[in-house]
Amino acid sequence: MGSKRVALIVNLGSPDSTETKDVKKYLDEFLMDERVIDLPYWKRALLVKGIILNFRPKKSAKAYQKIWWDEGSPLIVISKRLQQKAQALTDIPIYLGMRYGNPSINDTIQKIKDENPFLTEILLIPLYPHYAMSSYETVEVKVREAMPIIGHDVALTVMPPFYNSKAYIKLLSDKIGEHHPENYDQILFSYHGIPERHVRKTDPSGEHCLVEDDCCEKEHPCQAFCYRHQTFKMTDFVNANLQLPESKVQSSFQSRLGNDPWLQPFTDKRLESLPSEGVKKLMVVCPAFVSDCLETLEEIEMEGREEFLHNGGEEFKMVPCLNDDDEWAALLAQWITDFDPKKSLSEANTF
Site for Fe ion in 186-225 (CB under 5 A): 209, 215-216
Q: Report in angstroms how near the CB of residue 65 gets to ligand L6N33NVT at its nearest.
A: 12
Mention every residue, 6+ apart, whose C-beta is less than 8 A from residue 161: 126, 128, 129, 130, 131, 136, 230
Considering CB distances under 5 to 8 angstroms, the limit depending on partner class, which of ligand L6N33NVT, Fe ion, none binds residue 215?
A: Fe ion
Considering CB distances under 5 to 8 angstroms, the limit depending on partner class, which of ligand L6N33NVT, Fe ion, none binds residue 36?
A: ligand L6N33NVT
Q: What is the largest CA-CA distance in the chain?
A: 64
3-state secondary structure of 186: strand
Site for ligand L6N33NVT in 128-167 (CB under 6 A): 128, 132, 134-135
Q: Report in angstroms how near the CB of residue 63 gets to Fe ion at its nearest.
A: 13
168: left (phi over 0), alpha (psi -120 to 50) or beta: alpha
- List C-alpha distances in Å: 186 to 139, 230, 281, 343: 34, 21, 7, 40
- Alpha-carbon distance of 79 to 10, in angstroms, equals 9
Q: The dihedral of CA 348, 10, 198, 293: what is its sign?
A: positive
Is the CB of residue 80 less than 8 Å from the CB of residue 96?
A: yes
Considering CB distances under 5 to 8 angstroms, the limit depending on partner class, which of ligand L6N33NVT, Fe ion, none binds residue 134?
A: ligand L6N33NVT
Q: Considering only CA atoms, which of 26, 48, 108, 21 is closest in space to residue 294? A: 26
192 is in an annotated binding site: yes
Is the CB of residue 127 less than 8 Å from the CB of residue 11?
A: yes
Considering CB distances under 5 to 8 angstroms, the limit depending on partner class, which of ligand L6N33NVT, Fe ion, none binds residue 257?
A: ligand L6N33NVT
Q: Answer yes or no whether residue 125 interacts with ligand L6N33NVT by CB under 6 A.
A: no
3-state secondary structure of 93: coil
The 3-state DSSP composition of the chain as helix, strand, coil percent (nearest 5) reads 50, 15, 35
Q: Report in angstroms how near the CB of residue 339 gets to ligand L6N33NVT at its nearest.
A: 23
Q: Report in angstroms how near the CB of residue 226 gets to Fe ion at its nearest.
A: 4
Residue selected from 137, 203, 268, 295 as contacting ligand L6N33NVT according to rule CB under 6 A: 295
CA atoms within 13 A on the CB side of 234: 30
Considering CB distances under 5 to 8 angstroms, the limit depending on partner class, which of ligand L6N33NVT, Fe ion, none binds residue 56?
A: ligand L6N33NVT
Considering CB distances under 5 to 8 angstroms, the limit depending on partner class, which of Fe ion, ligand L6N33NVT, none binds residue 179?
A: none
Residue selected from 28, 32, 45, 56 as contacting ligand L6N33NVT according to rule CB under 6 A: 56
Binding site for Fe ion (CB under 5 A): 209, 215-216, 226, 229
Q: Which residues are annotated as a binding site for Fe(2+)?
A: 192, 295
Q: Which residues are annotated as a binding site?
A: 192, 295
Binding site for ligand L6N33NVT (CB under 6 A): 12, 14, 27, 36, 56, 60, 73, 75, 128, 132, 134-135, 192, 194-195, 255, 257, 288-289, 293-295
